[in-house]
Amino acid sequence: MDTTYFSSIQEYPSQYTEHTVMQRMLDGLGFRYYWATHELTPKDLEFKPGEGSRSSEETLRHIYDLSRMLHLTIHGEEVTSDTLQYDFDTLRRLTMNNIEKSRKRLDSQKALDSLQIIFRRGEQTRAYPFWNLINGPIADAIWHVGQIVSYRRLSGNPINPKVSMFSGKVRD
């Protein structure tokens, strides 16, 4: 995987479809994640705004879990737990890979309304409609990426001020 894939957002598509809108949402998530996590230091990863809150590293693990849920759902697979522990660089790469592969898979998806989030816990499964993917894992991941941006600012390492979330580019 090209780890710079989300360093900028591609030009927008010529038409609006359920697929291109979802792809653009994932572009926005990937772009924000890329810059929120770019050049994080060990101090940033350990940062916690207060007792009882997650550290940046724990928040990044949660974002990975959300990206994995997205990837599995868009690929028609059941969501199960991933208990493996990854170092920061691997976690970052895997998260962006999940978002990128999900984005690209949308090109070959027929109708999105046929996709379901299916959770498997042991022998039990629960299914939810695709809508829940939007207001659940995607919105939640965007929310938590914003936390990482705030946390790194508080730990003394703000993101590059030339990054424009509006345009999806880095200003000269």
Give me 39's structure tokens: 């050049």
Q: What are 8-62's pLDDT values in tens digits?
A: 998 888 899 999 999 999 999 999 999 999 999 999 999 999 999 999 999 999 9
User: What's the angle, vertex CA 13, arms to CA 9 and CA 17, rounded to 5?
Assistant: 120
Which one, of 100, 64, 97, lies nearest residue 82 by Cα? 64
Residues 100/94, Cβ–Cβ less than 8 Å: no
pTM: 0.94
Mean pLDDT within 120-141: 94
Residue 75 has pLDDT above 90, yes or no: yes
38 in helix, strand or coil? coil
Residue 2 has pLDDT above 70, yes or no: no
Predicted pLDDT of residue 161? 96
Residue 116 has pLDDT above 70, yes or no: yes
10 in helix, strand or coil? coil
Domains of the chain as residue ranges with CATH: 18-170 (1.20.120.450)
Mean pLDDT within 147-167: 96
Mean pLDDT score of the chain: 93
Give burial (CB, 10 Å; 0-12/13-18/19+) of 134: middle
Residue 103 has pLDDT above 70, yes or no: yes
